Structure 1
Amino acid sequence: MESIRHIACLAFADVMSLDVTGPLQVFASANDERARQGLPPSYGIHLLGPEAGPVKTSAGFALMADRAWREVDPASLDTLLVPGGMDMQIQCRDQELLDWLRSTEPQVRRFGSICSGALILAAAGLLDGRQATTHWSDVEALSCHEGIEVTGDRLHTYDPAGQDGDPHIFTSAGVTAGIDLALALVEADLGRPMALAIARRLVLFLRRQGGQTQFSALLTPEPCRTPKLAALLAWIPANLGADLSLEALAAQAKMAPRSLSRAFAQELGVGPGKYVERVRLEAARTLLQDSQASIATVARLTGFGHPENLRRTFHKHLSVGPQEYAQRFGRPTHN
């Protein structure tokens, strides 16, 4: 029988509630999915506060901490997550907490932060010599710590293979990126089909890999009757910059072009070309909403190539150009 992986998240006064509940819900949903399959749970989920009991969040309501973090044996934990909050300076100056985090780090398999929680890890010296990201508004503050390679355009810095990130100590970008990080952790533990099942169950966008720019692609549709088509739909969002012509898609799916077109029409009600355009448009919209890149960069990353192609697609589907869309719906930038 598989052993339970114990996942813990810190909580403190004015913690960002979604930083805590979003990632933990992913692990809880993994247990739910396994129960539907007649399998035992994979995760034990714990909330650790300054003391056991209610912890007020920045939203005004309280979360209930199971135990005080100082009372927990770090060796009993598989993964520890540190969330962000409203006034991170208080946590960053809490020497008892920082000492506990430093002593905990070598005893847990995975140690990560959500959003501005990266500032706490930085204050504890745990990000020295490492790559890190955080919420876009805290990138400058994180950059004040020497010895940290800050990358503001990453979704998260977790990579189980250790090639484009770190399997042990890692960070994630703003708020909902913690959900993406949790999905990546579950995928490493239980496989991509489980991560996809959780994303569908929670009606989430399954995002691209952590090392790529922070934007969401379309949620993989409900399972298709054609397994090769289902695999292709999961592959497309992570390869938007590649050749996604009918011939290239057919080669990827190992299907004849005519058979692939027929499968798209029968199961999705749309042809391959229109489907790819829709996924690319959604990805471009999210990048522009997050104010993460220029129009030219968005066009390149999402496979439109030239900005004019992006502009025409926006006008076709949204009756507005990408520049105006970014001005209407993008996050305000800071001087």
Structure 2
Amino acid sequence: MEPLNVGFLLYPGCTLMDFAGAVQVFSSAVGKFKTFIVSEEKAITTTEGLTVLSDYSLDLYPAIDVLFIPGGGDQGVIAAMNNSKVLDFINTVSPKCQWRGSVCTGAFILAASGILKNCKATTYWSLLPVLDRLSGKLNLEVPQNSYPRYLIDIKSKLFTGGGISSSLDLALELVKVICGTTVAEQTQLFIQYQPQPPVDSGDPAHAPQNVLDSVTQMEQDFIAAMNGEVDVLLKK
């Protein structure tokens, strides 16, 4: 088949690994995908302080077969949620895509556009209760007491992922769904992706209580800010 165009919609304050991990996976499925960045600005500074250059603007870009929206910090995500040009782009591109979705807090941008609805959906672990507040309005099925690294809704052709490093698993699962198990296995081997982390606290269900409490406390301002944006969405 012809390579599918995977367009990554970036914005100031997005998170590097949210898109970089997925770019690596798609690019390593040799001949199956072509990846590129689309953004309103030419230069985008990530939450890590690195600046990347986009390939295309929101006004001029190739056909997009897979639309991928990364998450980011609260200021970047909230700005994107309220950026009419970004939301218009999502709504213009989405009907023409074979797949569209997000990873991490990108789910809230997709929700603000109105595209994330009538499906299973996940996001960064500490923000699952915030996303769940939109379940009635958008008919979402949000995980309760579990923290999936990805969810693929075959019927609606929507995908969502957990936080940051989940972009690797999400992209690899999309490669498997689109291209088959063998291509996914080849891709996994090519990037030597066989995670065996030196600690086992990457999921809230595994993290020691003191670690969970400390990280949750660190994120209180982020959670409050996103709850405020959800309040706005619920009133629309």
TM-score bracket relative to the smaller structure: 0.7 to 0.9
Give the match for residue 156 of structure 1.
Answer: 150
- Does the 8 Å contact 1:111/1:169 carry over to 2? yes
Give the match for residue 157 of structure 2.
Answer: 168
C-alpha distance in 2, partners of 1:180/1:173?
A: 9
Instruction: Please state if 1:10 is matched with 2:9.
Output: yes
Structure 2: which 5+ residue stretches go unaligned? Answer: 218-236
Give the match for residue 202 of structure 1.
Answer: 191
C-alpha offsets along residues 175-195 of structure 1, whole Å, 9 cap, x if unaligned? 111111110111123221222
- Does the 8 Å contact 2:147/2:203 carry over to 1? no
Equivalent pairs counted in the alignment come to 209
C-alpha distance in 2, partners of 1:48/1:112?
A: 15
- Does the 8 Å contact 2:10/2:38 carry over to 1? yes
Give the match for residue 78 of structure 1.
Answer: 65
2:120 aligned partner, one-letter code: Q
2:4 aligned partner, one-letter code: R
State the Cα distance separating 1:68 from its structure 2 match: 0.6
C-alpha offsets along residues 131-162 of structure 1, whole Å, 9 cap, x if unaligned? 21000122233223233222252221215xx3
For 1:196-275, list aligned pairs within 5 A.
196-205=185-194
Give the match for residue 44 of structure 1.
Answer: 34
Give the match for residue 46 of structure 2.
Answer: 57
State the Cα distance separating 1:122 from its structure 2 match: 0.7
State the Cα distance separating 1:20 from its structure 2 match: 1.2
2:70 aligned partner, one-letter code: P
State the Cα distance separating 1:118 from its structure 2 match: 0.2
- Does the 8 Å contact 2:8/2:19 carry over to 1? yes
Give the match for residue 97 of structure 2.
Answer: 108
C-alpha distance in 2, partners of 1:126/1:56?
A: 26
Structure 1 runs (4+) deviating above 6 angstroms are none
- Does the 8 Å contact 1:48/1:67 carry over to 2? yes
Secondary structure of the corresponding residue to residue 47 of structure 2: coil
State the Cα distance separating 1:12 from its structure 2 match: 0.9
C-alpha offsets along residues 53-86 of structure 1, whole Å, 9 cap, x if unaligned? 321111111111001123225xx21101000111
CA RMSD of aligned residues (A): 2.4
State the Cα distance separating 1:104 from its structure 2 match: 1.6
Of residues 195-204 and 128-137 in structure 1, the stretch that sits farther from structure 2 once superposed is: 195-204
Give the match for residue 223 of structure 2.
Answer: none
Which one of 205, 220, 227 corresponds to residue 292 of structure 1? 205
Tell me the TM-score normalised to structure 2 length: 0.79
- Does the 8 Å contact 1:291/1:333 carry over to 2? no
Of residues 22-31 and 183-192 in structure 1, the stretch that sits farther from structure 2 once superposed is: 183-192
State the Cα distance separating 1:167 from its structure 2 match: 5.5
| Structure with a larger share of its residues in strand | 2
C-alpha distance in 1, partners of 2:213/2:59?
A: 38
State the structure with more CA Rg.
1
Cα 1:59–1:289 shift into 2, 3 Å: closer
Give the match for residue 248 of structure 1.
Answer: none
C-alpha distance in 2, partners of 1:330/1:141?
A: 18
Cα 1:198–1:167 shift into 2, 3 Å: farther
C-alpha distance in 1, partners of 2:88/2:25?
A: 29
C-alpha distance in 1, partners of 2:37/2:27?
A: 13
Structure 1: which 5+ residue stretches go unaligned? Answer: 32-40, 206-215, 219-281, 294-324
Give the match for residue 249 of structure 1.
Answer: none
C-alpha distance in 1, partners of 2:108/2:83?
A: 12
- Does the 8 Å contact 2:39/2:57 carry over to 1? yes
- Does the 8 Å contact 1:290/1:330 carry over to 2? no
- Does the 8 Å contact 1:156/1:170 carry over to 2? yes
1:23 aligned partner, one-letter code: A
C-alpha distance in 2, partners of 1:289/1:66?
A: 33
Secondary structure of the corresponding residue to residue 66 of structure 1: coil
Cα 1:193–1:12 shift into 2, 3 Å: same
State the Cα distance separating 1:328 from its structure 2 match: 7.0
